[in-house]
Amino acid sequence: MKIGVVYANAGRQAWLTVDLPEGASVRQAIEKSGILARFPEIDLAEQKVGIFGKMVELDAVLEDGARVEIYRPITADPATVHRRPRPEE
């Protein structure tokens, strides 16, 4: 089955495709994709992952065509960041 693995930081992004056997996990897709070598700052022990925008655990089983997303850590507390006005305000 074909699986996409995506990650982006402030300077660049990657969308890699891997072929995996049925029953493969999110962790297996990430490891096989080689994305950890391209982005050494990724820490799977700390960062959250998801499939099509829904957070999942690393041992979640994938379905053909899934897009595995690795999320960057939040760098600002949304409760303390001032809201920027919209152009129409």
In the chain, % helix, strand, coil (3-state, to 5) comes to: 15, 30, 55
Residue 46 burial (CB count, 10 A): 7
| pLDDT of the residue at 41 | 93
Q: Smallest Cα–Cα separation from 44: which of 60, 31, 53?
A: 31
pLDDT tens for the 89 residues of the chain, in order: 999 999 998 889 999 999 999 999 999 999 999 999 999 999 999 999 999 999 999 999 999 999 999 998 766 666 665 666 666 65
- Residue 5 · residue 68 · CB < 8 Å: yes
Element (H, E) at 69: strand 67-70
